[in-house]
Amino acid sequence: MDATFAVAAEADRVDRAAKALQDNGFLTHVTDTADDARRLVAGLVPRDKTVFTALSETLRVSGITSDLDDSGDFLSVRANAAPASDDVYDVIRLGAQPDVVVGSVHAVTEEGHLVIGSASGSQFAPYASGARQVIWVAGAQKVVPDLETALRRLRTYSLPREQQRLQERYGQSSFLAKILILEREAFPGRGTVVLVREAIGF
């Protein structure tokens, strides 16, 4: 596990990534703390639209998942879902086309690209095109120079941390099966990135 990927990037690197993201069509906000990001996201998500929270340690630790799914203030897809089905595809389809999806990424490059890895790829549909509005929250430790480094971060840091989390919590392992790379956003106002200047999640 490459622990250097756990260290928050310097302020100028975060600012560089934010500028590049904006140039690539993503609405971008930079906050000092996770609490600031939490308040910002609560203000960005409409109360009258369905919202799906992708599984994310960043969202969980910051309290964003709880705000969106448990507070009763939002039309949470997870909170209002029918009891879990035995069919994995029913679960995947649950979050395929919400009005809004909120999640995180595994790396943000200083070139303004987003990289997400997954075992099932279930979050990729709303991220790429299924949702009308997407909000990604990422700590400054996820800011890397380029795509090559982003993929190395995903494989040598994020995946081992996820494997460790699953082993400790559920006694199971994980694997990397699919990778989504977002270089630009085609639809103005659709994609928003919230960069946090402190490290949060993995």
State residue 120's pLDDT score: 87
DSSP string for 166-177: HHHHHS------
Q: CA 169, 77, 83: angle at the middle one, nearest 5?
A: 65
For each of the chain's 202 residues, which pLDDT tens digit applies?
Answer: 778 999 999 999 999 999 999 999 999 999 999 999 999 999 999 999 999 999 999 999 999 999 999 999 999 998 887 556 666 566 566 666 799 999 999 999 999 999 999 998 889 999 999 999 999 999 999 999 999 999 999 999 999 988 888 787 777 778 899 999 999 999 999 999 999 999 999 9
State residue 98's pLDDT score: 92
Q: CA neighbours within 13 Å on the CB side: how many for 167?
A: 9
Do the Cβ atoms of 153 and 106 come closer than 8 Å?
Answer: yes
The domain 3-196 belongs to what CATH superfamily?
NagB/RpiA/CoA transferase-like (3.40.50.10420)
From 114, 132, 107, select the one nearest 52 (Cα to Cα).
132
- Prediction pTM value: 0.93
- How far apart CA 2 and CA 5 sit, in angstroms, is 6
Domain boundaries defined on the chain: 3-196
Q: Positive or negative CA dihedral for 21, 179, 58, 150?
A: negative
State residue 85's pLDDT score: 60
State residue 82's pLDDT score: 59
Q: CA 141, 144, 148: angle at the middle one, nearest 5?
A: 135
**CA dihedral of residues 128, 78, 137, 120 (deg, nearest 10):** -50
**Cβ within 8 Å of residue 168, ≥6 positions away:** none
From 182, 161, 186, 190, select the one nearest 173 (Cα to Cα).
161
Alpha carbon separation from 10 to 33, 94, 113, 131 (Å, rounded): 14, 38, 18, 32
DSSP string for 32-66: SSHHHHHHHHHHHS-TTSEEEEPP-HHHHHHTHHH
DSSP character at residue 9: P
